[in-house]
Copies of this chain bind each other. A is one copy, B any other.
Amino acid sequence: MAEDKFIVTPWEVKGDVDYDKLTERFGTSKIDAELIERMVQHTGELHPMLKRGIFYSHRDMKWILDAHEKGPGFVLYTGRGPSGHTHLGHLMPWVFTKWLQDKFGVELYFQLTDDEKYMFGQDLELEDTKRFAYENILDIIALGFDKDKTHIFLDTEYAKTMYNIAIKVAKRVNFSTTKAVFGFENSTNIGSIWFTSMQAATAFLPSELKGKNIPCLIPCAIDQDPHFRVTRDIADKIGYFKPALIHCKMLPSLAGSDKMSASVSSSAIYTTDTPKQIKKKIGSAFTGGCVSVEEQREKGGDPDVCAVYQYLYYFFDWDDGSLNDRKAKCRSGELLCGHCKQYLTQKVTDFIVDHQEKREKAKELVEEYMLRD
């Protein structure tokens, strides 16, 4: 079937992703009203990413709430593969992670997998992925994570601690499993094959550091789930809890399909972009408009396929009334693409300019967040 023709792995997203089918494929659970209600009892508010189904899938989220209510509490873990600068698609789950940290008052471990991006990236040297890692860290800190409760590390700089946990994972995962889960082949390099052990290790790191088992919740884009399926499979064999997950969809590309890719720079907005670059990128974005103004006035546009609308929906317009109004006016032909592009450009520019100020200040704060051996 056509709608099944999409690929989602931690390293590749292709085709139009059917997120409902993806939960079936991965074996995760959809977030339902009951779970949302229970979360809201703790958070006191409904995050728009939950309300809009951007965070839409989970594993063992109820167990995490149990752990929070009755003990032993929980920690958060998320990460970033530093293959380039940070774009808005990366920020999305981080913003939600910060909200979780604030609302639950818990610790966060933030892994930068510079080893992964080096070993998987044909054209990336270790110096490159380390440099990007420190660029990305500025974006993380700029979001305002609690510095007393947030621990950031690069795999290569925290390798002694990480390696000692990762080998426990690696002993229990065989090549067949990585073939089945990640699609590896005989031509895959042995660093890439090994790597999932390092991503798994962070789920157990807080338990190692605290000297007692503590539940771990991983907010991440759903393309990362395969790593944690492997992690969950072996967790109890080495005496740890299975990590829980809460998954988000991936911010669409400005070009109108697939995940926003860090490798196609015009399809994504980076936190390092200038207002001029932002204006140009949004100006060239794929929309649901018609070929001529006349035709669009007559037939209306299609917000469902429009990248500009998706950006507002995923990140830049949390006001349902305003957004629904925009949708209706697009469909009726009243609102033209130029208006929406101008509106989004202003929203994105305001956000990025403000973020860049915080990013500058973050340069002084890096050491306060870092874990190193």
Contact = CB atoms under 8 A, between A and B. Distances in A.
A190 B187 contact: no
Contacts of A164: 126, 156, 159
Interface in A173-187: 173-176, 178-179, 184-187
A194 B196 contact: no
A167 B163 CA distance: 12
B173 A115 contact: no
A186 to B, nearest CB: 4
B167 A175 contact: no
A188 interface: yes
A21 interface: no
Copies of the protein in its oligomer? 2
B167 A126 contact: yes
B167 A176 contact: no
A191 B194 CA distance: 6
A202 to B, nearest CB: 15
B191 A190 contact: no
A189 interface: yes
B178 A190 contact: yes
Per CB-CB distance, the 6 closest pairs between chain A and chain B, nearest first, are A170-B191, A194-B194, A159-B163, A160-B160, A176-B186, A159-B160
24 contacts: A118-B171, A119-B167, A119-B170, A156-B164, A158-B160, A159-B159, A159-B164, A167-B191, A171-B189, A173-B190, A174-B186, A174-B187, A174-B190, A175-B184, A175-B190, A176-B186, A178-B190, A179-B186, A190-B194, A190-B196, A191-B194, A191-B197, A193-B194, A373-B373
Given A167-B191, A175-B175, A194-B194, 16 more contacts: A118-B171, A156-B164, A159-B159, A163-B163, A170-B191, A174-B186, A174-B187, A175-B187, A175-B188, A175-B193, A179-B186, A190-B194, A190-B196, A191-B194, A193-B193, A194-B197
